[in-house]
Structure 1
Amino acid sequence: MNIYLFCNAGMSTSVLVKKMQEAAAKRNVDANIAAFSVEILQDKMEEADVILVGPQVRHMLPEIKKTVGDKCPVEVIAMRDYGMINGENVLTTALNLLQK
């Protein structure tokens, strides 16, 4: 499963991705978790099973959802979880989106 996080440059989410990878390993969840710039969304969305958007680009959510269509679920990462770098909660969010 591919869980992709998108933000301005794909760099500010790298620490969160690491925490999510650690959480996935603890839960024995087989997931490829990576961060990218929203500029390459169209290149990566075909591979994504779920897309999470950084709070700093939440204003782009309607445009991102329109671009992605029904290919996969798209949601903004909770500001608190993002700020606290809570990989557990963000992973749970992604997994819950996949179950819908």
Structure 2
Amino acid sequence: MKKILLCCSAGMSTSMLVKKMEQAAKEQGIECKIDALSVSSFAGAAKDYDVCLLGPQVRFQLEEMKKVTDEIGINIAAIPPQTYGMMKGDEVLKQALSLIK
């Protein structure tokens, strides 16, 4: 099972995207766990996931957060603003899966 973490300011807007991603995963027969958390919860939670994606509103924190993911051996990336804004769950799922080591 793939474990995907999405981070944003408070975890709220990203939770809508999680639902779209879960729907896309189900349609594609992909078993995964997808959670949305605030950036403040990131450091303690990241070790439990295979990949982390950031909402556009927190992408400025990518380099700092990358230090944590490098230590635990997972990839992190920012979700493109247009993909996020249009809630394209299938594209974000594809991005996440492509980053899993």
TM-score, normalized by length of structure 1?
A: 0.95
1:32-76: CA deviation from partner (whole Å, max 9, x where unpaired): 011000101111111010000010001000000012215211000
> What's 2:86 paired with?
84
Q: How does 1:1-100 map to 2 (within 5 A)?
A: 1-70=2-71, 71-98=73-100
In the alignment, residue 62 of structure 2 is paired with which amino acid?
A: L
- Distance in 1, matches of 2:15 and 2:47, equals 21
Question: TM-score, with normalisation over the residues of structure 2?
Answer: 0.94
Q: Which runs of 5+ in 1 are unaligned?
A: none
Unaligned 5+ segments in structure 2 are: none
Superposed structure 1 runs of 4+ greater than 2 Å apart: none
Q: Percent identity?
A: 43
Separation in structure 2 between the aligned mates of residue 49 and residue 29 of structure 1, nearest angstrom: 14
Question: Could you say what the CA RMSD is over the residues aligned between the two structures, in angstroms?
Answer: 1.0
Q: Which has the higher helix share?
A: 2
